[in-house]
Structure 1
Amino acid sequence: MIQQVEYLRCELQETKNRVILLENMANRDTLVPVFNRRGFLQELKRTISFAKRYKSCVSLIYLDIDKFKLINDRFGHSAGDKALTEIANILIEHTRASDAIGRIGGDEFAIILHHASNDDALVKAAQLASQVAGRIIEIDSEEVSVTISAGVTELTFDDDPVNVLSRADRMMYANKQFALRQSNIE
């Protein structure tokens, strides 16, 4: 009888471990060590609830790799993957462990900044853009520099995850268009 109970306890633990592994696989990006879109939206939903309950200030940064298609077209998809990995590593290195990073689309990332105002997020977005621009990625013995565009928004207590992402995405797109217009003027 004791052996059967011990056997069942081991089976139960193995089942729990498999469930955790499957949840992790369902919520993590397959290329870079961050949340995928599904996992990020779940984390954002939890964060909104937490922020509402504790009246906490939370902001979101939405990032897009500028001219990413050119990297893929010129060097191939493995080079694009290398660029994505490099950028994800920069984001991980330069954000807090309490923040959450997700790869939202092909070349788009988002970051939840806990205890951060809109102004804090703007500063962090500028720092991240500087870090990315300062990192040279070697692809096929060629040095390639990459830049990112960012949009920032502060969460409100009546937000939902899709609206927050959409708002930050619109801000990122507006900033990208402004930068393109500025470069055409000079």
Structure 2
Amino acid sequence: MRFDVEALRQRLEQAEALADHDVLTPALNRRGFVNVLTRQMAYCQRHQQSAVLLYMDLDNFKPLNDRYGHAAGDEALRAVVDILIQQTRESDAVGRLGGDEFAVVMMNASYEDGKAKAGRLQELLHSQGFEWQGHHHGLSASIGVRPLSVQTDPEIWLAEADTAMWLRKAEKPSIR
């Protein structure tokens, strides 16, 4: 009986982990990211810590998918998450919110830290990109940066960062 209870507990833990993680990449999915964001917001507010949210949308992802196929698009998404995870600390969180949209929450970081990180991520996406059928493909992204201030709802914070991202995307002449 004890063995059966332990096996069921392990299966429940596995199911919960699957429910919070993206099926294609090692990033959190939207549900998992919002759960982490909620806890981190509460921690920051309780301990008067700073945090910044980066909201990222890949530029020209649809044409990439259309030209090279969904397998190439999937490889690009995995490459993006690999870069995001390599460039964040354990206290940060990386989420794939859907399609080609990603978010990173950086703990104990200022708006300036977030802007610097966004710039570095854009450089790495372009230079590292991904390999597909023997060819290197650079990537580009629009990244909105929004510091934690008085937000108490993670969805509001995400919406603010998403708006900041769209403002950045509108600044790019070939991206609309």
Q: TM-score, normalised by structure 1?
A: 0.89
CA distance in 2, matches of 1:143, 1:72: 15
Q: Describe how 1:10-49 pairs up with structure 2 within 5 A.
A: 10-49=3-42
| Selected match of 2:105 from 98, 106, 112 | 112
| Selected match of 2:55 from 49, 54, 62 | 62
- Asked whether the equivalents of residues 48 and 157 of structure 1 are also in contact (C-alpha less than 8 Å), the reply is no
| Selected match of 2:173 from 167, 170, 180 | 180
Gaps of 5+ in 1: 1-7
**Partner of residue 160, structure 1:** 153
Aligned-pair identity (%): 37
Q: Describe how 1:146-157 pairs up with structure 2 within 5 A.
A: 146-157=139-150
Gaps of 5+ in 2: none
CA RMSD of aligned residues (A): 1.4
CA distance in 1, matches of 2:86, 2:161: 22
SS at match of 1:180: coil
CA distance in 1, matches of 2:108, 2:7: 37
1:48 alignment partner AA: M
2:25 alignment partner AA: V
Aligned residues: 175
CA distance in 1, matches of 2:150, 2:167: 24
**Partner of residue 93, structure 2:** 100
Q: Post-superposition shift, 1:143?
A: 2.6
Q: Post-superposition shift, 1:48?
A: 1.1
- Which portions of structure 1, spanning 4 or more consecutive aligned residues, are displaced by more than 6 angstroms? none
**Structure 1 residue 134 and structure 2 residue 134: aligned?**
no
> Residue deviations 1:72-125, cap 9 Å, x none?
000000000000001110111111111100001100100010101111111111
Q: TM-score, normalised by structure 2?
A: 0.94
- Asked whether the equivalents of residues 76 and 129 of structure 2 are also in contact (C-alpha less than 8 Å), the reply is no
